[in-house]
Structure 1
Amino acid sequence: MEPSTGKKKTERNWGDKFLNIVEKTGNKLPHPATLFCIFAVAVLLLSAGLAALDVSAEHPDPDIDEKVKVVNLLSKEGIRDILTKAVDNFTGFAPLGVVLVAMLGVGVAERSGLISAFLKKIVMGAPDMLITAVVVFAGIMSSMASDAGYVVLVPLGAVIFLSKGRHPIAGLAAAFAGVSGGFSSNLIITMIDPMLGGFTQESAQMMDSAYTVTPAANLFFMMASTVLITVVGVLVTEKVVEPRLGSYTGSYKQDLDSLKPKENKSLKIALFALIAYVIVVALMTVPETAILRTDEGALLADHESPFIGAMIPLIALSFFIPGLAYGISVGDVKKDKTVVKYMEDTMSTMGGYIVLAFVAAQFVAYFEWSNIGFILAINGAEFLQAINLTGIPLILAFILVSGFINIFVGSASAKWAIMAPVFVPMLMNMGYSPEVAQLAYRIGDSTTNIISPLMPYFAIIVAFAQKYDKNIGIGTLISTMLPYSIAFMIAWMIMLSAWLLLGLPIGPEAPIYY
């Protein structure tokens, strides 16, 4: 029997009516795979039309004395690229490898019974409000492991809520919101900090050749944002999303029987296996000469560092090893064939996502080749310069423009590489530090990921949701996530305005004013 909620969304107020309209409209769109095909064809046609009109923009880097022009993808060279690079587009699509490798480990942990036993241990007896806070907070903290939260925590949030008798889509949404918000809120420095800081520093040195930006440039504000986003995420989940979804009446169930003595013992063995694994990883990362540090001894230098490159396999092993230990202890794993079967079964459920990934990868590649997104970002920057805003209103407008552009250009680093050379010097001229420009950009970038169908992981979130309701489409997910996006944007803008008015440092040795 196919899972389905079988329940019409409630309409308690005008907000619910608006979200229901968004959902119905979005769900009338074709299947996500078909939609990405349509997007890809649209980009091809648009590139040809805009190239014929000679649409272009001045490159934001003053050292590059040439215009950025729209590339016609229906030219002879463009058609060659479309046909000869289709396989490379697919195999090089970043979310594909991340998802499949991580799911190999997660699949062993799930099918051995470890995840179910773990959920029983932590969920039974815990209050709903605490469960919601834990899911959102865990999503936020997952940004320390780059994009892994989208693959691991989002489906886990659904399982946790379902095991408490709550709507699984609400749990999925809470985790998704936390993971997205986590890119601008965390209690520690994450992988994205040194990457963005590098672009910010290069742009700042266009005006001040001695200016340096550290990876901790936004740390104080990020730490405070962790509390803010957790609280806002809980409130939106409890007060808006869950009441609108109503009770879950689908066929998919999560068993919550009490743990048997053997399961309790096996859970402890799995914990010991995880601790041993963490010790091994620590030995490979903590010492200055550790294997997973760069030759210079840096751990989070950039995406070329061994630790960052190894993050997804490390996460997969963090599920695989305890899952294997649990399965052996509980008696379900007696042969290697069983473990292989667990991984095969997991991969068999990923067929729909692989199809989505193929067409999404082609669209993303076409959009990048065409330069349409690049020109859109440049024009967005020019728009802000043209409206002559100053001070906090300019920074708030910058957040809105960043959020809007993020709907069309998913990569945080790619957008900042385009926008930093424009906004960092502009805000420095107005007396604001490069660190503030970077922070404002991160807020806008984080708030609209969860409502953009073009975000690379959006397709797999839809696939996760369809496990509980086969009728869920893009419209359902957008309408569910829109309240988070709006609430995060408003809360962050208020917090940043207050932070700037009070003159608080946003990070160690990271002042507000230049």
Structure 2
Amino acid sequence: MAEAQAGSGTQSGILGWIERSGNKLPDPVFLFFWLIAILVVVSIAASLAGLSAAHPTEVDADTGAATVITAQSLLSAENIARLWVEMPQTFTHFHPLGYVLVVMLGAGVAERAGLFGTAMRAGVRNAPIYLLTPIVAFVGMMGNLAADAAYVVLIPLAGIIFHAAGRHPVAGIAAAFAGVSGGFSANLLPGQLDALLFGITEASVETVFGDFTANIAGNWYFIAAMTFVFLPVIWFVTDKMIEPRLGPWNPSMAGKAVSPEQQGEVADGDRALSSAESKGLRWAGLAVLFVVGLWLFFTLGPGTPLIDETASAEARLTPFYQSLVAGFFLLFLLAGWAYGKAAGTIEDHRGLVKMMAGAMEDLAYYLVLAFAAAHFVAMFAWSNLGLILAVNGADFLGNSGLPAWALLTAIILVSALLNIFVGSASAKWALLAPVLVPMLMLLGISPEMATAAYRVGDGATNIITPLMVYFPLILIFCQRWQKDFGLGSLAATMLPYSVGLLLAGLAMTIGWVVLDLPLGPGAEVFMEVPTTVDPTGPASAE
């Protein structure tokens, strides 16, 4: 790691400027605290200036005139009292917090028991040479369900497997990195990221329009399609651009000899699964089938507890959508437990509880970040600036005559650019969502579509910014096979992937909007413009 950091300081040009500029930014936690301080100053100035907006659909019951929303100073007596009195509530009611904690309780067991690592190894070890690249890329995108495990297990393993197949190990690392990080949102199943982002989306809607329930499966069809759109891009770039550029792999070249440690890794990466591991995967598969069957029973069985028979046709499946967070918790938990018991990595219930506690320990930093982000989102709502900006921004964009696909294209490009400087997906969405989501809703674009557009831009530039938390680690993986491989080499290797994924994501988004395809169960691109606004925000409404 020290070698990567030392090398990174000598970069020049655009890459060096990006790195130096990004390094000057504070930690995302303090970035939110600084933004809160700026927000306080802006709210005071906006309040003194009488900044306001007339809501386009709300009218005053007495006068019949349009409802006027005015900016509120965050240093008013009411808001100061709200800050200190409601601080525990502001933190604990931050929607992403509960979603992520619940899902990670299960996912932490699956990761620590070894299910994710074994499943990824099983998915790539016997791949035919000509299908090695797409299989590595596909497993990488699916491996996002395992969060950090995909970075530390699959990416170095891909280099080992490519070497064992006589191909350049760095090409394998690049393909896996592109799948895991460039295709960060692409997957056949919703997972932890969906819970995290839609929690922020839900909070952003509620700051303006009051009560709203996010659908964690609201991007399911979109991210599944993204998987198959990104797969040929990664395959083409790896086999036709990156591997020819790297040249034939020759371990005997000066400075590139394979060490005894690497030889051991090759043998381990290419070894067959043990009988215990195979048995664990079978048991985990049965556990997954059990959970899926259980949810089908709850949805379609007697009493239909996950279907509200009394609601309108559009709202009947609301309990089902709300149950998906718990569903993924149970799926990961039981699959991880079944694997661990069969493979011998979990001895008894005490080991299971210890793994769940370890998953919570890993979220310590996220809890600190969530505390800062929760207060930024809440105070943004108290100031009314989000609503005012959304209304005025919607008026401006509506009068511009830009079609929906052009607006969403702009969001994708802004997200991709911002991602170069702020690596955290949740931190960026917590910054953008309070303005973008309500603004697009006032233009008739759904929160699910806004979230989907953000995800396209967020993943594309993950793989070219040195500020991405795993970027130095990927560099170390490459240097184990090619000692003269520097930061610029990694950025240059990954740039074609970034451009290709961004262009493919843009084309897919535009086509999705033009064809008006459903984004997920019960989630559409467009929606009716909301006719009600809760100017007090969710906190005071309680």
Normalising TM by the smaller chain, what interval? 0.5 to 0.7
**What is aligned with 2:537?**
none
Q: Deviations over 1:3-56 (max 9, x none)?
A: 9855746999xxx94344223311221222111111111111211111111122
Amino acid at match of 1:359: A
- Residue type at the aligned position of 1:276: F
Offset from partner CA, 1:212-247 (integer Å, 9 cap, x none): xxxx9999999866643554566678969xx99xx9
Larger radius of gyration: 2
What count of residue pairs does the alignment treat as equivalent?
Answer: 438
Matched, 1:156 2:177: no
Structure 2 residue aligned with 1:35, among 27, 31, 50? Answer: 31
Alignment partners' CA distance in 2, 1:443 and 1:400: 11
Contact 1:57/1:68, CA 8 A, preserved across alignment: yes
Code of the residue aligned with 2:69 in structure 1: it is V
CA contact (8 A) 1:104 1:343 kept: yes
> Structure 2: how far apart are the matches of 1:289 and 1:130?
44
Match of 2:280 among 266, 273, 278: 266
1:277 aligned residue: 291
In structure 2, runs of 5+ residues without a counterpart are: 61-65, 160-168, 206-216, 247-255, 257-261, 419-427, 477-487, 527-542
Q: Does 1:399 align with 2:408?
A: yes
Displacement, 1:76?
A: 0.8
Q: 2:327 — aligned with what?
A: 314
Matches of 1:230 and 1:122 in 2, distance apart? Answer: 15
Residues 119-128 or 314-323, more deviating? 119-128
- Provide the residue aligned with 2:47 in structure 1: 51
The TM-score with structure 2 as length reference comes to 0.63
Tell me the residue number matched to 1:209. Answer: none
Spell out, residue by residue over 1:379-424, the C-alpha distance to the aligned partner (whole angstroms, 9 max, x if none): 32232344x546xxx4454234555887787586985554344x34
Q: Secondary structure at the match of 1:284?
A: helix
In the alignment, does 2:390 pair up with 1:377? Answer: yes
Pick one of 297, 300, 307 that aligns with 1:293: 307
1:54 match: secondary structure: coil
Alpha-carbon deviations, 1:408-459, whole Å to 9, x = none? 87586985554344x34xxxxxxxxx8xx99986764444455999xxxxxx
Could you tell me which residue of structure 1 aligns to residue 79 of structure 2?
Answer: 78
Counterpart CA distance in 1 for 2:346 and 2:309 is: 40
Distance 1:39 1:21 in 2: 23
Match of 2:56 among 53, 57, 60: 60
User: 1:91: how far off?
Assistant: 0.9
The one-letter amino acid paired with 2:138 is: V
1:219 touches 1:507 (CA, 8 Å); kept in 2?
Answer: no
Match in the other structure for 1:328: 341
Q: Residue type of the partner of 2:97? A: L
Q: Is the alpha carbon distance of 1:62 and 1:365 closer, same or farther for their aligned partners in structure 2, counting shifts above 3 Å?
A: closer
Which residue does 2:90 correspond to in 1?
Answer: 89
Q: Distance in 2 between matches of 1:226 and 1:74?
A: 47
Where does residue 117 of structure 1 map in the other structure?
118
Deviation at 1:280, TM superposition (A): 1.7
Query: Structure 1 residue 305: deviation in Å?
Result: 2.2
Secondary structure at the aligned position of 2:26 is classed as coil
> Where do 1:237-252 residues align within 5 Å?
none
1:83 and 1:469 mapped to 2: Cα distance? 45
Identity %: 27
> Higher mean Cα deviation, 80-89 or 156-165?
156-165
Q: Using the alignment, how far apart are the partners of 2:139 and 2:413 within structure 1?
A: 27
Q: Which amino acid aligns with 2:156?
A: L
Aligned pair in 2 of structure 1 residues 341, 491: CA closer, same or farther (>3 Å)?
Answer: closer
Residue 357 in structure 1 maps to residue 358 in structure 2: no
Q: Distance in 1 between matches of 2:358 and 2:19?
A: 32
Q: Give yes or no for the alignment of 1:108 onto 2:104.
A: no
Amino acid at match of 1:280: L
Q: How far, CA to CA, are the matches of 1:345 and 1:51 in structure 2? A: 46
Question: Secondary structure of the residue that 2:53 maps to in structure 1?
Answer: strand
Question: Which letter does structure 1 place at the counterpart of 2:28?
Answer: P
Whether the 8 Å contact between 2:55 and 2:67 is mirrored in structure 1 is: yes
Partner amino acid, structure 2, of 1:130: P
CA distance in 1, matches of 2:288, 2:344: 19
1:130 paired with 2:144, answer no
Q: What residue in structure 1 maps to residue 19 of structure 2?
A: 23
1:305 to 283, 304, 318: 318
Instruction: Answer whether contact 1:89 1:365 (CA < 8 A) is retained.
Output: yes
- How far is the alpha carbon of 1:72 from its aligned partner? 0.8
Question: 1:419 is matched by which residue type in structure 2?
Answer: L
Aligned to 1:345: 358
- Structure 1 gaps of 5+ residues are 140-148, 200-215, 425-433, 454-460, 471-475
RMSD: 5.3
Tell me: CA distance 1:441–1:87, structure 2 relative to 1, closer, same or farther (3 Å).
Answer: closer
Partners of 2:106 and 2:331 within 8 A in 1: yes
Please give the TM-score of this superposition, normalised by the length of structure 1: 0.66
Distance 1:62 1:28, change over 3 A: same
SS of match in other structure, 1:60: strand
1:453-499 Cα shifts (integer Å, max 9, x gaps) = 9xxxxxxx9778798899xxxxx9x9999988876665455567778
CA separation of 1:50/1:438 partners in 2, compared to 1, >3 Å: closer, same or farther? closer
How much does 1:367 deviate?
Answer: 1.8
Structure 1 position 270, deviation (Å): 2.2
Report the secondary structure of 2:57's partner residue.
Answer: coil
Distance 1:294 1:112 in 2: 37
Partner SS state of residue 56, structure 2:
coil
Structure-2 residue corresponding to 1:366: 379
SS at match of 2:100: helix
Partners of 1:378 and 1:419 within 8 A in 2: no
Alpha-carbon offset, residue 266 of structure 1:
2.5
Equivalent residue of 1:343, what SS? helix
